[in-house]
Structure 1
Amino acid sequence: MTHPVESAPPTREVDPREVRRIAFSAFIGTALEWYDFFLFGTASALVFQHVYFSGSSPIVATMASFATFGVGFLARPLGGVLFGAMGDRWGRKPTLIVSIVAIGLATGLVGCLPTSASIGLAAPILLTCLRLLQGVAVGGEWGGATTLALEHAPPEKRGRYAALVQIGSPAGTLLSSGAFALVFLLPDASVDSWGWRLPFLAAFPFLGIALWIRLQVEESPVFQQAEREAEGGGEGEAARGSFVDLFRHHGVKVLWASCASLVGIGGFFVMSTYALSYGTSVLGIERQSMVNATVIAAVGQILINVGFGRLAEKIGAHRVVIGGGLASAILAWPLWILMDTANIVAITVAIVLGLAVVTISYSVVGVLITHMFPSRVRYMGMAISVNIAGAISGLLPFIATWLNSFYEEQSSTPAILILVVISLVTVLGGYFGSRHHTEDEVLVTEKPAA
């Protein structure tokens, strides 16, 4: 079966203000997504083992906490399928509104959840259910936000707009780490009893702001063109795509796009969530000091996103992805050697550099993936690819903790090996992904000069 060649949308003059508004909306959504997800990661590393899994040994409690954290990532590919199908069939904008509401509600409700001391086994079960809902909703957020932003952006500026969407990650990290840094100023007993809830409850007002901003944006012109074609029936209906279409005709692209995304997501959780747990439980560093390190690192991530977004416009997104993967592999061992000094200054340097180097690939992977899929399956292709990488990434802190259980004295070796492997996988994804560039010019182009 052959598919019709997609016709390009009518050329139109790009309104810079409109593009910036769309990109800012995508940034806000991504910031809320990562605020919510990193809140759960921080709480999993530092709090949940005390309030939901306190009846187990320390290492079992930590593993159970990280398993709950990982469940959200396992749910993300399902979210990619569900929201991807909605986004390619019903529109990018309404789908993104549904996803952001679900994310905010799931996160806020975690802050209302009773502990195991109050309702027993039901507490961790409900926590896992909310994490599953959060994971499904987040599964449709990034792919749609990036698709919407880049389908509005002029070709020569896609690197910077992709980077702006990605800045939502460190911005969300900054907000969540900052929130927990304030919480950890409280006495430990207050933190474990009620203080940890405050950052989760803050998701409710954040949701209101994000929803208001997202309601102001316009639908993607690429989707609007596909809608006009589909209204005529016949071949135009193929422009909507499907899950079967994606994997029958673009399955290899999904593989390489997932690989290209791996270190940007997985490396982040190795150098943040797992590093937080390792620093506090193995090295004996105070929780406050570890969270402060992630706050500083988030500022560095913003600068990395901006700089490498511009660089990708000059040398190509795939070269930035490949270079970031190589740099992450090379620096994995030195970074964890710094961690093992148990010196808070050295640890802070390791976390800042570690999160900076894994952000290089992350900053522009959206550009690479956007150009791999035609518009009829773009939302779904991006969402599923990134969330396959996310599902793997969410299990990495659990896997590292599990591997460490085989050592008489806990070691940084599992973290080093994991970081090297996912970095090299990203190098392969960047290289082969660039060889699957789609040439159906369905992204908005500048109006030719008169």
Structure 2
Amino acid sequence: MATPSTTAPAKAGPSKKGIFAASFVGTAIEWYDYYIFGTAAALVFGTAFFPGFSSVAGTLAAFATFAVGFIARPLGAAVIGHYGDRIGRKSMLVLTLLLTGGATFLIGLLPTYDAIGIGAPLLLVVLRLVQGFGVGGEWGGAVLIATEHATPRRRAVYGSFAQFGVPVGVLTSNLAFLAVSAMDNDAFLSWGWRVPFLVSIVLVFVGFLVRSKLEDAPEFQQVKEQREVSKVPVAELVKRQPRQLILGSLASIAPPAVGYTVIVYMLTYGTTVIGFERTTLLTLILTSTAVWIATIVLAALLSDRFGSKKVFAFGALTAVIWPLPMFGLVNTGDTGAALLAFVVAAFVQGVMAGAQGGLFTELFDVKVRYSGISIAYQLGGMIGGAVTPIAATSLYGAYESSTPIALYVTALSLVSLLAALGIRTVPAAPTAVDAGRRDTAVSSAG
């Protein structure tokens, strides 16, 4: 007869639905905020905030403002990650939501260049910096609040909760701009573009209510109870796990490189070079997000079965292959061909996204995990996301061909593929909750 366990019953954690809501809803809201800026940069900011520039120069200036947010993201990852590793995941997730949402709402109230001159683009840059700082700490916290509540065999599925927020953010931001882009052009440029920014305050309120009910996972609570919290997580991370940080950062380049080529640059390229209507491109990108979401689910399930590293590497390989065919399809000017281009690109992103949350959780020790995955994700995002629209615009201006752009995205994706192949994961540390589960199983078997 089995000896009764003396281990105290583990405190019941939040439900799977609660974890999903906290991870997904807040992330979806923050990426909605972030992507409407990218859409506005492609469609209106060149005219509203940089009217004295030529068409190409105005677009470059608008994309540069878009890129400023990426510069702030690694800083936000380091600062918010520091306190996330020391104080807790929950409080930082609430902070990131308020920073990003508040900045987005204020962008919707900004006067244009015609109203206040140089002050307008300067204020836009400041608010973009705040927005980027908040987003810098968002993804890491949203992933960890899910994966640290999961068993090791379900980490990829739980890690995918936060990843759903990215395509849903694209979906809702495109829907918002699609709703106002059918307006008369003068009305759209005057006030219509502001509506998607202003309505975000309602979404922030919803996200705040959901995240305020969160609890930190037992794995992190155990670190705090045993007083093993790192004093300076970033310093410890750089000292003890530099290889993981570098490889994780490089692996993170491909997803935003492909994503922002489609979501941001294609809006400019497709309308000004190929001749698509603005609403047509928004609709095509919106439609492709359904494939993106479905692929995240499939990739997460496969990751828990075959390993996150293998699935992510496969996604990076597809990212190496697809840019040339993608531009070739868009260049036909045919709506069906462009839809196919975006659908496959969504599949490419979804494969990497479904594996990334689980993979990155396994890269770093729990004491420095918030800092580690946040910094790695944001450094990769800065290279792959911030630079790509600017590089694409410059490359087309220099060569008047999409081939150099496609080769550029292919090269970035190849870097990510090689980095992913070199990654080594860290086994999950057992927690008191895991021990309680094992004791329950032993007692039941006895």
Give how far 1:438 is off: 4.3
Q: What are the within-5 Å matches in structure 2 for residues 25-424 of structure 1?
A: 25-230=22-227, 236-238=228-230, 241-392=232-383, 393-407=385-399, 410-424=400-414
Q: Which runs of 5+ in 2 are unaligned?
A: 1-6
- In structure 2, the residue matched to 1:432 is 422
- 1:46 is paired with a residue of what secondary structure? helix
Cα pair distance change 1:13/1:303, threshold 3 Å: farther
**1:59-92 CA deviation, whole Å, 9 max, x = no partner?**
1001001000001001100000110001001111
Give how far 1:34 is off: 1.1
**1:371-408 CA deviation, whole Å, 9 max, x = no partner?**
1101110000011000001111212101111122212x
**1:396-428 CA deviation, whole Å, 9 max, x = no partner?**
101111122212xx2112321122112212212
Cα pair distance change 1:149/1:327, threshold 3 Å: same
**1:87-114 CA deviation, whole Å, 9 max, x = no partner?**
0011110111111111100011110000
Cα pair distance change 1:11/1:380, threshold 3 Å: farther
CA contact (8 A) 2:85 2:229 kept: no
The number of residues matched between the two structures is 432
The amino acid of 2:426's aligned partner reads: H
CA contact (8 A) 1:46 1:277 kept: yes
The amino acid of 1:146's aligned partner reads: V
TM-score w.r.t. structure 2 length?
Answer: 0.93
The amino acid of 1:58's aligned partner reads: S
CA contact (8 A) 2:253 2:381 kept: yes
Distance 2:25 2:92 in 1: 15
Cα pair distance change 1:342/1:200, threshold 3 Å: same
Cα pair distance change 1:29/1:429, threshold 3 Å: farther
**1:169-194 CA deviation, whole Å, 9 max, x = no partner?**
11111100000011111111111100
The amino acid of 1:425's aligned partner reads: V
Indicate the larger mover: 337-346 or 98-107. Answer: 337-346
- In structure 1, the residue matched to 2:4 is none
Distance 1:138 1:74 in 2: 11
**1:144-179 CA deviation, whole Å, 9 max, x = no partner?**
110111001122222211122101111111100000
**1:271-324 CA deviation, whole Å, 9 max, x = no partner?**
221111110111121111111111101111110111111111111101111000
CA contact (8 A) 2:143 2:161 kept: no
The amino acid of 1:401's aligned partner reads: T
The amino acid of 1:380's aligned partner reads: S
The amino acid of 1:350's aligned partner reads: A
CA contact (8 A) 1:164 1:306 kept: no
Cα pair distance change 1:383/1:188, threshold 3 Å: same
Cα pair distance change 1:251/1:303, threshold 3 Å: same
Give how far 1:241 is off: 4.9
Cα pair distance change 1:11/1:324, threshold 3 Å: farther
Q: What fraction of aligned residue pairs are identical, expressed as a percent?
A: 36
Over the aligned positions, Cα root-mean-square deviation in angstroms equals 1.8
**1:224-243 CA deviation, whole Å, 9 max, x = no partner?**
1111112xxxxx354x5521
Distance 1:132 1:417 in 2: 30
Distance 1:443 1:130 in 2: 43
